[in-house]
Amino acid sequence: MRLAEGGFVGYVVAVLVGLVLAEVATLITTIYLHRVLAHKAIRLHPALTMFMRFGTWMLTSISPREWVAVHRKHHNFSDIEETRTAPHRGVLEDHDRQRLLLSP
Ligand SMILES: [Zn+2]
C-alpha cells in the first residue's frame, strides 16, 4: 500500500507512525540523553546504546554533548531561589527567569 493512495487508512497509519516515532524520541531523551549520558545513572547494552545514539541523530537532531551540558547546567541552578518554580509565579515568568539565568 502506497501512502499516497491509502486514503483514510493511509492517513491513520501515518499518524500512528508519527506518534510511535515521537514516543521513541521521548524514550531516547529520557533514558539515553538524561539517565545514561547526563547523569551516568545507568549503563545500557552496547547494541541498545548504538540504537539510541542512531535514534538521537535520526529523530531529534540533538547534539548529545550540548544536551548534556545544558542539562547539567540546569541541575546546577534548579535548586536556587532565583530559578525555583513557585506557585505564586506563572509558568511563563518561571520559564523566563530560568532562561535568563541559564543563557550563556
Ligand atoms: Zn537530570
pLDDT tens per residue across all 104 residues of the chain:
555 567 888 899 999 999 999 999 999 999 999 999 999 999 999 999 999 999 999 999 999 999 999 999 888 877 666 656 666 666 666 666 666 666 66
What pLDDT, on a 0 to 100 scale, did the predictor assign at position 12?
92
Q: Based on the domain organization, do 77 and 102 belong to the same domain?
A: yes
Q: Based on the domain organization, do 56 and 93 belong to the same domain?
A: no
Q: Tell me the DSSP string of 11-43.
A: HHHHHHHHHHHHHHHHHIIIIIIIIIIIS----
Q: Based on the domain organization, do 55 and 15 belong to the same domain?
A: yes
**CA separation for the pair 24, 17 (Å, rounded):** 11
Q: How far is the CA of 36 from the centre of ligand 1 (A)?
A: 10
Q: Based on the domain organization, do 53 and 100 belong to the same domain?
A: no
* Domain around 68: 63-104
Q: How far is the CA of 5 from the centre of ligand 1 (A)?
A: 44
Number of compact structural domains in the chain: 2
Q: How far is the CA of 73 from the centre of ligand 1 (A)?
A: 10
Q: Based on the domain organization, do 70 and 55 belong to the same domain?
A: no
Q: Based on the domain organization, do 43 and 78 belong to the same domain?
A: no
What's the pTM? 0.70
